[in-house]
Amino acid sequence: EAQVTQNPRYLITVTGKKLTVTCSQNMNHEYMSWYRQDPGLGLRQIYYSMNVEVTDKGDVPEGYKVSRKEKRNFPLILESPSPNQTSLYFCASSLGATRSEAFFGQGTRLTVV
Amino acid sequence: DAKTTQPNSMESNEEEPVHLPCNHSTISGTDYIHWYRQLPSQGPEYVIHGLTSNVNNRMASLAIAEDRKSSTLILHRATLRDAAVYYCILRDIGAGGTSYGKLTFGQGTILTVHP
């Protein structure tokens, strides 16, 4: 089954403790991205990747890092999480950047206390 | 980024057609029109997309105005499972730029389906 898998689904952590949210897709997609969803602000893109070893900032990249060492994986790294990063995070992938449909993961609800 | 305008909410009865409008008066020639929906507690789900011509798939139809400044997502027979937030999005296919490939989600339309 074609899918985007995020882990964990829920996470509560403390300020400053590094964490990684994993994202994996099984569709051989080239384009992957991370979004965060906050009430009243909608979904905003954090980072995206056009292909292996090619990543770039989205609209709200501060406080986040990503890597794309393999085509299927696109982890989101919070080196020093802060409470303002409490949010619902979604990973997405698509065959290309523009014309094709994007598949989203189920989401990771992160709480930083 | 070109913006879209949608009604905040709409209501429908089960098994009736639903027409969800979207205005995008500043659309550029390189923008595809995408529709996604988000069911409660789930990630967004692709519905349909198009450039100039009307499009049909198993989920819905997309009617695009001749000047491309507006579009309408048509659910032919709404079911309770169609209750969701529907997003109309312009996806830039222009080469390069920070908006390349980005899905810019607005507030969407909350669709309520009554039994």
Collect all residues of chain A within an 8 Å Cβ-Cβ radius of residue B34: 101
Cis peptide bond N-terminal to B40, omega within 30: no
Side-chain half-sphere exposure of A82, counting CA atoms within 13 A: 4
- Contact assignment for B42 to A103 by CB distance below 8 Å: no
How confident is the model at residue A2, as a pLDDT?
A: 85
Please give the pLDDT value at position B97: 56
**Between residues B22 and B98, the one the model is more confident about:** B22
Q: What does the pLDDT look like over B37-80, one tens digit per residue?
A: 999 889 999 999 999 999 999 999 999 999 999 999 999 999 99
Contacts of residue A102, defined as CB under 8 A and 6 or more positions apart, other chains included, come to A33, A92, A93, A94, B36, B44, B46, B103
pLDDT of residue B76: 95
d(CA B44, nearest CA chain A) in Å: 6
Residue of B nearest to A4 (CA): B43
Per-residue model confidence as pLDDT tens digits over A4-51: 999 999 999 999 999 999 999 999 999 999 999 999 888 999 999 999
